[in-house]
A and B are shown apart, each in its own frame.
Chain A
Amino acid sequence: MMSAAFLCCASSNAMAALEVFACEPEWASLASEIGGDKVKTFSATHARQDPHFIKARPSLISKVRRADLIVCSGADLEIGWLPLLLERAGADVQRGAVGNVMAYQYVPLLEIPTVIDRSLGDIHPDGNPHIHLDPRNLLLVGKELLNRLVLIDEGNSDFYKLRFAQFETKLNTAIARWLEEGKQLKGMQVMTKHKSLSYLIKFFGLEEVASLEPRPGLPPTSSHLAKILESVGSKNVRAIIRAPYESDRGIDWITSKTKIKNVIIPYTVDGDDNSGDLFALFDRSLAILKSAL
């Protein structure tokens, strides 16, 4: 046991790559964009896992304990497991420390509730935490990640700055293209399963006419679905969009009675076979939405 411990540490020192613990794949991907081979990223969840509901498993404890930098969405998205993991992590990645980035703090948040009460469902008091689906937020969070990487690993600061500048240019160009190519999506009426796609909806200017969850986090009820179906007649709803980890409960019922399509948006990196990085994620989301028009 002791020799194993010694070996692992000796090898990690030799590599000297910063260990980045990301709660979600999008942040691992963003950290790789900026950190390149100077960082070793690990994502606690993958695209088919609901980041609200994973467990503080033993394997995650060992990962977080070795992390130099933690990047999470925050805004209570990881409240069920991150606090337990942080208890086992180092001082430099605790709340408020240089190695702790809670992405929600650096972007304008949507859906900040004015009333906070548990009878209203799964409420996030700080606002909707699924912020990465507006690519402009990736720049804001990326800027902060750059600041932190420079502080933690000063020796490679030029490397990080250069990579961020390249990423920024590439993303700005892509954003302009997405907005241009997504023009026809403006005003497209959609329904959602959960409020996990709000930022994407805002970015492309879609119109969310209803959510199948009667209240955030509560599964659809038949009376709520009936109400939705009733209201559909007067509208021109093209699709029900959802993340890969969200169940299709209730969706089939509505799509079988209407011409509304059942559409899965990749939601995050590797959400489907054609979403291998952040750029592909938005390319793919755009293509899926356009084909649902």
Chain B
Amino acid sequence: MLRIKFAVLTCLLVILGSSPLWAASDQEVELLRAEIAAMKAAHEERILLLEAKLEEVAVAKVAAKSEASSDEIIAVAPIRPATNRRQIKKNLFNPSIGLIFNGQYTQHETAEGEIAGFAVGHEGERGGEGFAIDHTELTFSSSIDDKFFGSLTAAIVKHEGKTEIELEEAFIQTMPGLGLPTGASIKAGRFLATIGYLNEHHTHTDDFTDRPLPYRVFLDGGYNDDGLQATYVLPTDFYAEIGGGLFRGDDYPFGGSDGEGIDAWTAYARTGGDIGENQSWRLGGSVLSGKSTTGRESNHELVSYVGDTDLYIADARYTWAPTGNATNQEFALQGEFFWKEEDGFYSDAESGADSVLMDDSSEGWYTQATYKFARNWRFGARYSQLNAADVPTGLIGSHLDGEGYNPKAYTAMFDWTNSEFSRVRLQYNREELASGQGDDQIMLQYIMSIGAHAAHKY
């Protein structure tokens, strides 16, 4: 309405101004001008008012929307055909579901791949050759209510020709709503214990296709056991975290728990921070201690161990990224050192050793570096080494007798990451795991994920 009046007046003014027939006086022109100015002001005020109203409506709409959970918004927002509009409300509470595909092609140069001087579990052995899918991981997770969170990760694997389901993790965890002190949390169930650096990470987040030698021999890939773990982030200005757990003692480096009592425990402490804008670091120390009561089997069930095992781990990680922006460039350096003390009895079915007392220590360490040189490309290198224990006379010639040799492995990798959901990797290993033995290996691997994908830890 206003707009039309305004236009008419403008037209009038133009006609008045240009037509000599209507030679109006200056006074009249001024009057008209004033009227137009007044109308213009009213007009603008009106528009501002309307804009404010529009904003109010928009905000109200957003506020109403924000009351609904974000999941609901995703479910409701898209325009759908009429036939598809029926809402199944029970689905809204479905947990997040994520699936990891992990496949590879491997080629080894030599037939032998045993690690000299160590008891090695099933997961720590050299992988198979040819095409294979490794762990296919299925994860369900969700908050249970205001106080608890639950998560399950099952791996579908092929083991001795049979497809099996391995329960990697099935745990509940307290949420801050429970009322524990800020920074404290308790986890219960089966889970990857918080020790070292790599242990609590799922293998699909690793920077290399296989785990380094110390993880293979000391933890059989990773220590996940049934138990309870408490963690606490200290209220300090710098990052400091402590924690510990009690476990059944059923997973490597323990085994054969009869379930009477608690056979294993862990403790850890960590700290970390930034150096300027470009660098970050984390340091940690941890202990895993326990006993194998009825016998821990290793080396294809040929070796068994009854006794105490203490494992001490020191871990460090350092990252550099220009201005802390890891999008296009990042360098990461990481290493862990392991010291294992065993006091117990070894038997080896092959050498005939029967319950021979061994009280000695062995060591292992690895260090790795990765460099992201472009948004989607990285390369990396890793070196890992083990120092076996000296064996008592009774174990000479057994799997534990490394004849003074220190197994080592050199690794180089190159990978392409299309998005945070897909990665393809080429890796070369040179493993010298026993005296006089060298194995060149090539691995081509893909890791891809669909569905929900949890954020990766530092």
Binding site for B on A (CB under 8 A): 1, 4-5, 8-9, 46, 48-50, 52-59, 61-62, 65-66, 79-84, 87-91, 94, 105-109, 112-116, 118, 122, 125-126, 136, 140, 217-219, 245, 247
User: Given contacts A65-B183, A90-B176, A116-B74, is CB(A57)–CB(B236) below 8 Å?
Assistant: no
Q: Type the 1/0 row for B62-92, where 1 means its CB is closer than 8 Å to any CB of A.
A: 1101100010011001110000000000000
Are A89's CB and B182's CB within 8 A?
Answer: yes
Tell me, yes or no, whether B133 is within 8 Å of chain A by CB: no
Are B455's CB and A91's CB within 8 A?
Answer: no
Are B274's CB and A87's CB within 8 A?
Answer: no
- For B277, the chain A residues whose CB sits under 8 A away are 46
Q: How close is B330's CB to chain A, nearest CB, in angstroms?
A: 9
Are B177's CB and A94's CB within 8 A?
Answer: yes
**Contact for B282 among A49, A58, A116, CB less than 8 A:** A58
Tell me, yes or no, whether B111 is within 8 Å of chain A by CB: no
**Contact for A59 among B59, B73, B77, B238, CB less than 8 A:** B238
Once the chains are docked, how many angstroms separate the CA of A114 from the CA of B59?
Answer: 21
Interface residues of B in 191-248 (CB under 8 A from A): 233-241
Are A114's CB and B234's CB within 8 A?
Answer: no
Q: Which B-chain residue is minimally distant from A45 (CB atoms)?
A: B324
Binding site for A on B (CB under 8 A): 55, 58-59, 61-63, 65-66, 70, 73-74, 77-79, 175-177, 179, 182-183, 185, 233-241, 270-274, 277, 280-282, 319, 323-328, 375-376, 419-421, 450, 454-458
- For B78, the chain A residues whose CB sits under 8 A away are 113-116
- Closest 8 pairs between A and B when the two form their complex, measured CB to CB: A58-B272, A105-B66, A58-B239, A91-B176, A90-B182, A62-B239, A108-B58, A48-B323
**Contact for B182 among A4, A79, A91, A112, CB less than 8 A:** A91
User: Given contacts A5-B235, A59-B238, A65-B235, is CB(A126)–CB(B73) below 8 Å?
Assistant: yes
Are A46's CB and B324's CB within 8 A?
Answer: yes
Give 13 pairs: A residue, B residue, CB < 8 Å, sorted on A: A9-B235, A46-B324, A48-B325, A54-B326, A55-B326, A57-B280, A59-B273, A80-B456, A90-B182, A112-B77, A118-B419, A118-B450, A218-B419
Are B59's CB and A56's CB within 8 A?
Answer: no
Are B274's CB and A91's CB within 8 A?
Answer: no
Are B455's CB and A50's CB within 8 A?
Answer: no
User: Given contacts A46-B324, A126-B73, is CB(A5)–CB(B234) below 8 Å?
Assistant: yes
Are A84's CB and B455's CB within 8 A?
Answer: yes
**Contact for A53 among B234, B241, B327, B376, CB less than 8 A:** B327
- For B375, the chain A residues whose CB sits under 8 A away are 219, 247
User: Given contacts A8-B237, A48-B325, A125-B74, is CB(A55)–CB(B458) below 8 Å?
Assistant: yes
- For B270, the chain A residues whose CB sits under 8 A away are 58
Once the chains are docked, how many angstroms separate the CA of A112 from the CA of B79?
Answer: 11
Q: Which A-chain residue is minimally distant from B273 (CB atoms)?
A: A59
User: Given contacts A56-B457, A58-B271, A80-B455, is CB(A8)–CB(B236) below 8 Å?
Assistant: yes
- For B325, the chain A residues whose CB sits under 8 A away are 48-50, 53-54, 245
**Among the interface residues A62, A83, A140, A217, which one has the most CB atoms of the partner chain B within 10 A?**
A62
Q: Which A-chain residue is minimally distant from B324 (CB atoms)?
A: A49
- For A112, the chain B residues whose CB sits under 8 A away are 77
- For A80, the chain B residues whose CB sits under 8 A away are 420, 455-456
**Among the interface residues B58, B176, B277, B376, which one has the most CB atoms of the partner chain A within 10 A?**
B176
Once the chains are docked, how many angstroms separate the CA of A166 from the CA of B325?
Answer: 35
Are A62's CB and B236's CB within 8 A?
Answer: yes
Once the chains are docked, how many angstroms separate the CA of A122 from the CA of B419?
Answer: 9
Are A217's CB and B419's CB within 8 A?
Answer: yes
Once the chains are docked, how many angstroms separate the CA of A57 from the CA of B274?
Answer: 8
- For A106, the chain B residues whose CB sits under 8 A away are 59, 62-63, 66
Are A83's CB and B458's CB within 8 A?
Answer: no
User: Given contacts A57-B272, A83-B455, A125-B74, is CB(A105)–CB(B62) below 8 Å?
Assistant: yes
Are A50's CB and B327's CB within 8 A?
Answer: yes
- For A118, the chain B residues whose CB sits under 8 A away are 419, 421, 450
Are A125's CB and B59's CB within 8 A?
Answer: no
- For B59, the chain A residues whose CB sits under 8 A away are 106-108, 140
Given contacts A58-B273, A87-B185, A126-B70, 13 further A-B contacts (CB under 8 A): A8-B237, A50-B325, A53-B326, A56-B455, A59-B272, A59-B280, A66-B235, A82-B455, A91-B177, A94-B175, A126-B74, A219-B375, A245-B323
User: Given contacts A49-B323, A108-B59, is CB(A5)–CB(B177) below 8 Å?
Assistant: no
Q: How close is A104's CB to chain B, nearest CB, in angstroms?
A: 9
Are B457's CB and A88's CB within 8 A?
Answer: no
Q: How close is B456's CB to chain A, nearest CB, in angstroms?
A: 8
Q: How close is B355's CB to chain A, nearest CB, in angstroms?
A: 44
**Among the interface residues A57, A66, A80, A125, which one has the most CB atoms of the partner chain B within 10 A?**
A57
Q: Which B-chain residue is minimally distant from A140 (CB atoms)?
A: B59
Are A65's CB and B237's CB within 8 A?
Answer: no
- For A247, the chain B residues whose CB sits under 8 A away are 327-328, 375
Once the chains are docked, how many angstroms separate the CA of A61 from the CA of B273?
Answer: 9
Q: Which A-chain residue is minimally distant from B317 (CB atoms)?
A: A58
Q: Which A-chain residue is minimally distant from B66 (CB atoms)?
A: A105
Q: Which B-chain residue is minimally distant from A83 (CB atoms)?
A: B455
- For B66, the chain A residues whose CB sits under 8 A away are 105-106
- For A218, the chain B residues whose CB sits under 8 A away are 419
Q: Which A-chain residue is minimally distant from B422 (CB atoms)?
A: A118
- For A65, the chain B residues whose CB sits under 8 A away are 182-183, 233, 235
Once the chains are docked, how many angstroms separate the CA of A8 from the CA of B274?
Answer: 18
**Among the interface residues A87, A94, A115, A219, which one has the most CB atoms of the partner chain B within 10 A?**
A87
Q: How close is A46's CB to chain B, nearest CB, in angstroms?
A: 7
Q: Which A-chain residue is minimally distant from B242 (CB atoms)?
A: A1
Are A94's CB and B176's CB within 8 A?
Answer: yes
Once the chains are docked, how many angstroms separate the CA of A84 from the CA of B61?
Answer: 30
User: Given contacts A56-B457, A118-B421, is CB(A91)–CB(B328) below 8 Å?
Assistant: no
- For B326, the chain A residues whose CB sits under 8 A away are 53-55
Are B179's CB and A91's CB within 8 A?
Answer: yes
- For B77, the chain A residues whose CB sits under 8 A away are 112, 114, 125
Once the chains are docked, how many angstroms separate the CA of A55 from the CA of B56?
Answer: 37
User: Given contacts A59-B274, A108-B61, is CB(A136)–CB(B237) below 8 Å?
Assistant: no
- For A9, the chain B residues whose CB sits under 8 A away are 235
Q: How close is A217's CB to chain B, nearest CB, in angstroms?
A: 7
- For A58, the chain B residues whose CB sits under 8 A away are 239, 270-273, 280-282, 458
Q: How close is B252's CB to chain A, nearest CB, in angstroms?
A: 28
Once the chains are docked, how many angstroms separate the CA of A45 from the CA of B41?
Answer: 44
- For B457, the chain A residues whose CB sits under 8 A away are 56, 84
Q: How close is A40's CB to chain B, nearest CB, in angstroms?
A: 12
- For A116, the chain B residues whose CB sits under 8 A away are 74, 78
Once the chains are docked, how many angstroms separate the CA of A54 from the CA of B456?
Answer: 11
Q: Which B-chain residue is minimally distant from A105 (CB atoms)?
A: B66
Once the chains are docked, how many angstroms separate the CA of A8 from the CA of B240?
Answer: 13
